[in-house]
Chains A and B, each alone.
Chain A
Amino acid sequence: EDQVTQSPEALRLQEGESSSLNCSYTVSGLRGLFWYRQDPGKGPEFLFTLYSAGEEKEKERLKATLTKKESFLHITAPKPEDSATYLCAVRVGGSEKLVFGKGTKLTVNP
């Protein structure tokens, strides 16, 4: 069965304190790994797509990396506005379905 596990469930950081969120997956035939940001009461907002091990993508303070078993979302010098729930999802070959993890709730204190 295809599975996506995100850790930690929740993370509190001080402004400027860098850290990483983890997304581990067991799927048959990865066709893409996706990171989304979700603010309370809103729909998920697309951040990155990664397709193959070794690939990296960056956007402002966020950097996503991918290995054969997991992905990391690195947050460098976070600001309070980075507070959100970060969702990881995978698309499996031959399927239109995205399998989502349960998310990591990030809180950045000023």
Chain B
Amino acid sequence: DAGITQSPRHKVTETGTPVTLRCHQTENHRYMYWYRQDPGHGLRLIHYSYGVKDTDKGEVSDGYSVSRSKTEDFLLTLESATSSQTSVYFCAITSSRNQETQYFGPGTRLLVL
């Protein structure tokens, strides 16, 4: 258990609405990641963070922004949600004890109507 929680776990929203997903970790890990998982695709990296206020883009970052003002929280924001952003979103961390391996949270299921 990597001590990762995600909130909310499920959300239904409407097109054009802003949405923020939260990833919270309790073990002071430096690296945090946001992925999305869709049928027919592997997990794809959206954004990641390598420290407070230090973030970088992944392969599918368009339409998403992130913030990390505290070590324990990594927020993913959809500024204006679209139906193509309906997905399952996973947060991951790289353990301080094993810096090569990513451990995943339980996921947030988002439906954009």
How many residues in A have their beta carbons less than 8 Å from beta carbons of B?
Answer: 23
Using A43-B107, A44-B104, A46-B101 as known contacts, say yes or no to A87 and B48 having CB atoms under 8 A apart. Answer: no
Chain A nearest Cβ from B20, distance in angstroms:
19
Query: Do the beta carbons of A98 and B102 come within 8 Å of each other?
Result: yes
Among A12-20, A57-65, A67-75, A99-107, the one that faces the other chain is: A99-107
Residues of chain B with a CB closer than 8 A to A42's CB? 106-107
Query: Do the beta carbons of A100 and B43 come within 8 Å of each other?
Result: yes
Residues of chain B with a CB closer than 8 A to A103's CB? 42
Docked pose: A44 CA to B101 CA in angstroms: 12
How many residues in B have their beta carbons less than 8 Å from beta carbons of A?
Answer: 23
Which B48-62 residues have a C-beta within 8 angstroms of A? 48, 50, 56, 58-59
The verdict on A4 contacting chain B, using a C-beta distance below 8 Å, is yes
Which A24-45 residues have a C-beta within 8 angstroms of B? 31-32, 34, 36, 41-45
Chain A nearest Cβ from B88, distance in angstroms:
9
Interface residues of B, Cβ cutoff 8 Å to A: 31, 33, 40-45, 48, 50, 56, 58-59, 90, 98, 100-107
Interface residues of A, Cβ cutoff 8 Å to B: 4, 31-32, 34, 36, 41-46, 49, 87, 89, 91, 96-103
